[in-house]
Amino acid sequence: MADNPRIPWPPVLAGRELFESLTLEAVADARDPSAVSPNGERLIDPEIGELLELLADCWPTGDPAERVGATYKALAFVGHRAGFDAAQRAALYAMAERYGLTQRHAAHIIARLDDATRMVRELEAMLSSAD
């Protein structure tokens, strides 16, 4: 077994090898509450969908990280940062496999979570200094 296992890449589904296509599809499904699987279940859990929506501004740059699957370690970090329990993290891994998320996708989500955390801290600091 590899030291740092990854989401399989390229995705096994035909026609889904382009980074931009994968990103756009994941974001579109996350935003569409009517997106359901063949058995009628919601395609993406709403909490995972919120993470996928962070990819809306993740455009291809040619970075080599766009051509390798995300590591499960990076996805676990995303899940922990989002406050997911073990079952939610397992669902996150399954979703990442379904959409063929790359290491760049994972890094982009982490950066957006960092941005949000930083903004909350700055807002809290401003509010506490106003007292």
Q: What angle, rounded to 10 degrees, do the helices at 46-53 and 19-31 form?
A: 140
Which residue type sits at 89?
R
Mean pLDDT throughout 113-118? 90
Share of the chain above pLDDT 70, in %: 92
Beta-strand (E) ranges in 22-78? none
Q: pLDDT tens, 40-90?
A: 888 788 899 999 999 999 998 888 888 889 999 999 999 999 999 999 999
User: What pLDDT sits at residue 12?
Assistant: 53
Query: pTM here?
Result: 0.84
The pLDDT confidence band at residue 131, using thresholds 50, 70 and 90, is: low
Residues 6+ apart with CB under 8 A from 89: 75, 76, 79, 80
The DSSP secondary-structure symbol of 58 reads -
